[in-house]
Amino acid sequence: MKRIISLFTVAIMLVCTLMGCGTGNEAVTTDGSTSMSKVIGSLGEAFEADTGITVTYNATGSGAGIQAVGEGRCDIGLASRSLKDEEKANGLEGTVLAYDGIAMIVNPDNPVSDLDVETIAKIYTGEIKNWKEVGGSDAEIVLIGREAGSGTRDGFESITDTEDQCDYRQELTSTGDVITTVASNPAAIGYASLASVKDTVKALTVGGVAPSEASIKDGSYVVQRPFILVTKKDAKLSEGAQRFFDYITSEAANEIISGAGVVPAD
C-alpha cells in the first residue's frame, strides 16, 4: 500500500513538473499601452534571460489594458496615464514604472521647430488652422491623434487642456501609426511617445525645451506623463508575475528603462 502511495506521489510530482505547477515558471501576461512596448519589451527580454520565465505583451492601448487586468485576463496592465478615480474605486492600483515625454512631431520638411503649449492647444482645437500662422508654409494643418481610450491621448489632452475639444483629422490606434502618418504628410502634426520617435519625423521643442531624459527628469519639458503598472489591490499576483513586478521596479532595472528612452521612477 505504501509503495502504491509513493508511486502515486511521484506521478503527481512529475505531472506538476511538466505542467509547471508551483514552479513560478508560468508565462507572465501583460496587456495595454502601445507606447510602453519598447520599455516592456526590453524588461521582458532581460527578465526572461535571467529567470527563464516568459513575458507576453498584448498591445491593446491603456484603456483596454486596464480593463483586462480588472477582468482577470492578464497579470499586469500597462497604462501610459494615471488611473482615474473610478478605476481605483473598482479595486485597481497603479505603480509608476517610469516617466515618458510626449513628443510633438511633424514631417521633417516642415520649417516649424518650436511651439508652446498654448499654441499647440489652439492648433488642436482648430483656432489655428494654417501653418503660416505659426511661421510655417501656407498649408492647412492636418491634425493626427490617438483613439479614445489611449493613454497618450489622455495625457496630451490633459496637459494641453483640450479634452473633448480636439478637431482630429485622423484618430489612430497605435503610436507607430501616428509616426508613419506624420512622416508621410508634410502638413501633419501628431503626438507620440518620445521613446518611439524615429528619424522619419521631427520632434518639436515645446516652449524652447527639447524632449529628453534630462528635461523630463527636471520637469522643464512639460508634455510628459507616467508609465503605470496596473494591478488588483486585493489580489495576489502569481509567483512569476510577482517576480517580474519586483524585478522591473527595482533599482537594478533602471539602466534597462533608461536604455528604452524613458526616465525611471525614483
User: Residue ranges per domain, the chain?
Assistant: 27-98+227-264, 100-224
Same CATH fold assignment for domains 27-98+227-264 and 100-224: yes
Q: What does each C-alpha distance from 233 to 76, 181, 237 come to in angstroms?
A: 12, 39, 10
Phi-psi region of 139 (alpha: psi -120 to 50; beta: other; left: phi over 0): beta
User: To which H or E segment does residue 170 belong?
Assistant: strand 170-172
The CATH number of domain 27-98+227-264, selected from 3.40.190.10, 3.40.1160.10, 3.20.20.140, 3.40.50.2300? 3.40.190.10
Q: Percent of the chain scored above 70 by pLDDT?
A: 91
Q: What would the DSSP string read from start to end of 40-109?
A: HHHHHHHHHHHH---EEEEE--HHHHHHHHHTTSSSEEEESSPPPHHHHHTTEEEEEEEEEEEEEEE-TT
- pLDDT at residue 24 above 90? no
* pLDDT at residue 7, as a whole number: 42
Measured between its terminal Cα atoms, the distance across the chain in Å is: 59
Banded model confidence at residue 6, pLDDT cuts 50, 70, 90? very low
Tell me the per-residue pLDDT of 82-121, one tens digit each, with 9 for 90 and over: 999 999 999 999 999 999 999 999 999 999 999 999 999 9
Query: φ and ψ at 122, to 5 degrees?
Result: -65, -35
Tell me which fold the domain 100-224 belongs to.
Answer: D-Maltodextrin-Binding Protein; domain 2 (3.40.190)
Banded model confidence at residue 261, pLDDT cuts 50, 70, 90? confident
- Mean pLDDT to the nearest integer, 172-197: 96
Q: Cβ(223)–Cβ(117) under 8 Å? A: yes
- The span from the CA of 166 to the CA of 158, in Å, is 12
